[in-house]
Amino acid sequence: MSQNNPFESARTQMKTAYTFLTREYDDLFPILLSPDRVIEVSIPVKMDDGRVETFTGYRSQHNSARGPYKWGIRYHQDVTKDEVMALSTWMSIKCATLDLPLGGGKWGIIVDPKKLSQNELEKLSRGWVRKLYKYLGPLDDVPAPDVNTNGQIMSWMVDEYSKLVGHWTPGTFTGKPLSIGGSLGRDTATAQWGLYVLEAYLKSKWDTIKNKKVVIQWAGNAGLHMIELIQKSGAILIGTSDSHGAIYDENGLDISQIVSLKGDKKSLTEYKGGKQISNHELLELSCDILIPAALENQITSENADKIQAKLILELANGPITPEADITLFSKNISVIPDILANAGWVTVSYFEQVQNNANYFWSREEVQEKLKLKMETALHGVLEMAESKKVMLRTGAYVVAMKRILEAMKVRG
């Protein structure tokens, strides 16, 4: 894939959407194009062999006009400052699209966590909090897990933060285990929300997911849950992938075998049956629904004209570049954008924050009910805007979100 700059992609998307807004926000819009604050820190860690290794980390706080900064902590060897700024920008848009009282933020550390021991991982996580705790808080900045981070890492971080401020403050981090204030329903929230959005969108077109041929790029946490959910809904999975490669079977893949392989932390290259293909080939398969669930910049100007899916649901963040968006739109391939399609986890993260601050917790059924209601309201608003402006869904979502953010900035002065 080409090395597209994700932050420039985010800025381009905002500039495109702003043309559909009134000029009353002209003085404020340039502020929205850049983060409020970007912090770079060095985190020294004493490794198990006695040497000290220093890791670089970034924190981007994009906009807090509507509420505390919110989004995940990413541990990955390819993290860049531009990526972190882009993801914080997309988070501001996502929260406003859903009408959540939150703004966008993002953490990222340049590290391959698979090369660290559990002890080294804990030291890195606690060291990260010590560097940035003054900027955090349940009413200021509320991080959550993202790529290569999980409930255990959140546990170390909230413990370290609470020690530093002198009192137990669970609402500063979300995505925690249930035993220390996590929310029911978060484990499957991204995939469950994605399915809700997909089914509601198809229903708006007088269609259904049943018997649709589906390709899901990346059988990771969200992708694997989605694989299980779409099977229960009556769709047929014909292709999926992991970091080692992809598998394809026109007649449908064996879901139980895929779940078993990933549960045992094995590669899909060990799948028995079907055909082994590349990730590039996977994206270009003929299918009804394509669900990118990996990283950014998967569909670009280089391969957009080869995409054969009829509908794309972005379960990953930023998998389609602005140039590719235009190509897909011209080919009448509808895209349900990430800021709407994968918003389940941030919605349940918000629910967790609310429950922590109130010290009162909801049942799984209550969480699912509130999740579905939020999705239906958000989708209706985006569809209405896109249809009225005759634009793609992504632009419609950006118009809805940016108007809310800019109006908040305006009235706050």
Write out the catalytic residue numbers: 106
Q: What phi and psi values does residue 206 have, to the nearest 5 degrees?
A: 60, 45
**Hey, which residues does 55 pair with through a beta bridge?**
43
| CA separation for the pair 412, 18 (Å, rounded) | 20
Strands 275-277 and 141-145: unpaired
Q: Residue-wise over 53-74: b if at least 16 C-beta within 10 A, else e? A: eebebbbbbbbbbbbbbbbbbb
| CA separation for the pair 43, 388 (Å, rounded) | 49
| CA separation for the pair 202, 388 (Å, rounded) | 19
| CA separation for the pair 194, 201 (Å, rounded) | 10
Cα distances from 317 to residues 146, 231, 373, in angstroms, run 11, 23, 22
Under 8 Å between Cβ of 301 and 2: yes
The conformation of residue 220, written as its DSSP 8-state character, comes to S
Task: Please classify residue 258 by burial: count the beta carbons closer than 10 Å to its beta carbon, then call 0-12 exposed, 13-18 middle and 19+ buried.
Answer: buried
C-alpha count within 13 angstroms, C-beta hemisphere, residue 308: 11
Handedness of CA 38, 42, 45, 49 (dihedral sign): positive
Under 8 Å between Cβ of 212 and 289: yes
